[in-house]
Amino acid sequence: MTESQRYTSAEILAVLSARQLKDGQVVFAGVGIPLLAATLAQRLNCPGLTILFEGGVVGAFIEPGKLPPSTNDQRCTKRANMVLGSADVLLLLQRGYVDVGFMGGAQIDQYGNLNSSFIGDPAAPKTRLPGTGGGNDISSLTNMIVAMKHEKRRFVEHVDFITSPGFIRGRNTRSESGLLAGGMFRVITELAVFGFDDEMRRMKVLALNPGVSREQVQDNTGFDLIFDETVAITEPPASHELETLRMLDPERLFTA
């Protein structure tokens, strides 16, 4: 493997996530890997991809080396289609104009519920997390892609708090809770690509990343995984994908 073909775990997260997006989609992207992946997809094979930010930017186009650290950063507005208030851009979700929600996560469970509120007892939490922001709106109204580091403490049987709903308690509980649109579509980690089975709505391994075994994925997960009947092996990041990614983030702020 040449130096240009070597990649970090964050880089494979960004590349595999970018491959999930399609030209013509509207994607509500969080900062960090989600934004980097959406921008990568836009540069490579999805020129018609429209990126939205919670801060109100519609149709963002990120310049190389100027990835914003916040959805409210003014660099998001350059060459954008329009800039709205936060309430107005969230209304686009409610009106059904957004295809994909794309976020990271601190904790996820077998049904795709995300926790970004706190870890531990709610009365005396061990760790306080950033909170929901627009996360609940996004996960309630779109098909979700989540990119996150794969650790047993992050992949738990039941999240400590449902900040952003996936399939709630499985089966039909999402729709029974009043969430008639969207759901968890894909979870991307440095180990594998996951979907959710159609009946139980539990997390299912669709593909393993190069050099990763089933046992390794299961050992790093806090619940029993379902494995697809034909588990694939993902294609490693290609040279042109890595080159574009590194052009967008030359200082490796998000992909070190």
Distance CA 58, CA 82 (A): 5
DSSP 41-63: HHHHT-TT-EEE-TTSEES--PP
Q: Which two tokens stand for residue 118?
A: 């706190």
Burial of 158 from C-beta contacts in 10 A (0-12 / 13-18 / 19+): middle
The answer to whether 101 and 144 are in contact (CB under 8 A) is: yes
The answer to whether 61 and 78 are in contact (CB under 8 A) is: yes
Backbone angles phi, psi at 95, to 5 degrees: -85, 0
Is there a catalytic annotation at residue 157?
no
Task: Find the catalytic residue in 3, 11, 54, 199.
Answer: 54
Which residues does residue 193 pair with via DSSP β-bridges, in sequence order? Answer: 188, 207
Residues catalogued as catalytic: 54
